[in-house]
Amino acid sequence: MPAQIIASQIYDTLILSDLHLGADMSRAREALRVLRENQYRRLILLGDIFADLNFGRLKKEHWKFLGFIRKLSNPKRGVEVVWVEGNHDHGLAEIMSHLVGVRVYQEYQWEYRGLRHIAVHGHQFDGFVVSNVHVSYLIGTLLYLQLQKWDSKNKTVSRFLDRLGTRWQRLSSKVAAGALAHAHHHRAARIFCGHTHAALHKHEHGVDYFNCGAWIDERPTYITVGDEGVQIHEYIDRPDIDRPEIDRPGDHHPDQEHISADYEPAEFYAGARLLEDSEYEGVGR
């Protein structure tokens, strides 16, 4: 009998960022598994959950992820779901509040064990994005999305360019420095960001900075906050785990997975194949 994952603890908060739904490199299936296989009282989607505002790019697994978020945000689940806006999500606040029933924040703060925590996407500390919104969208979004379609199945070139761009712009150090200064100003003990696509922990003058990494890489990461402190986890696919309710990678040809461009967001509940209520048992408890 295949092994089953049993969550050993309930986290106060689980955080993931930069899923880029709509991009060919988005690992929405794996992100959904993480959300299903852990227990938590709060979920923070820390920005750039979408690649852009074109919902016609969304695939079936992307709609499934949104379907899970919609059901998880139901008050009876006992899980607080927070969506922090990223630069790719800009303009989606009202849509998200209706589509998946989640409130969208520019920045989110909460208290845990007497410590102030801040979650902000991090593009606010990236001077190039702030100063060149239109250029960033044209080059960083549209051309990059097209490159992913031209790239190989493993997206080797796209992932290499993503890592190279992070290093070339010194994004990790820039965002970390800006976030730490922001946390000091607001007297927070911990601050969490995404945006750079590179997981990182940095401690400076009594403040801890954490970056969630991204879900478009071969080694996606997420963060948990709980009794054991803050942990950065790397997702590891376990083919020995029985997951019959989620399509396995390779089950479908990528060209067959796109929802038609005229698919209305309000109709996604059926198209996303929402998971059964029983599949949410234990989450948040």
Calculate the dihedral angle through the C-alpha atoms of 70, 75, 79, 82, rounding to the nearest 10 degrees: 60
Q: Which element (helix H / strand E) includes 191?
A: strand 190-193
Distance between CA atoms of 10 and 256, rounded to whole angstroms? 37
pLDDT for 40: 97
pLDDT digits (tens, 9 = 90+) for 102-160: 888 999 999 999 999 999 999 888 865 444 444 444 444 445 444 545 454 555 545 44
SS3 (DSSP) at 81: strand
pLDDT for 264: 46
Crossing angle between the packed helical segments 171-185 and 156-168, to the nearest 10 degrees: 60
Percentage of the chain exceeding pLDDT 90: 43
Asked if 221 contacts 199 with a C-beta cutoff of 8 angstroms, the reply is yes
* DSSP secondary structure, 171-189, as one string: HHHHHHHHHHHHHHHTT-S
- Name which residue leads in pLDDT, 147 or 89: 89
Mean pLDDT to the nearest integer, 55-83: 90
Q: How confident is the model at residue 181 (pLDDT cuts 50, 70, 90)?
A: very high
The domains found in the chain, sorted by start residue, are 10-272 (3.60.21.10)
pLDDT digits (tens, 9 = 90+) for 221-279: 999 999 999 999 999 876 555 444 443 333 333 333 343 333 445 555 444 444 545 55
**Is pLDDT at 186 greater than 60 in this prediction?**
yes
Q: How confident is the model at residue 51 (pLDDT cuts 50, 70, 90)?
A: confident
Mean pLDDT to the nearest integer, 55-70: 88
278 CA to centre of own chain: 24
User: What's the DSSP call for residue 21?
Assistant: B
pLDDT for 84: 93
pLDDT for 57: 76
Based on DSSP, count helices (H) and strands (E) in the chain, helices before strands: 9, 11
**Is pLDDT at 163 greater than 90 in this prediction?**
no
Mean pLDDT to the nearest integer, 87-91: 72
Percentage of the chain exceeding pLDDT 70: 61
Q: Kindly report the number of other CB atoms within 10 A of residue 82's CB atom.
A: 19
pLDDT for 220: 94
Mean pLDDT to the nearest integer, 175-185: 95
Prediction pTM value? 0.74
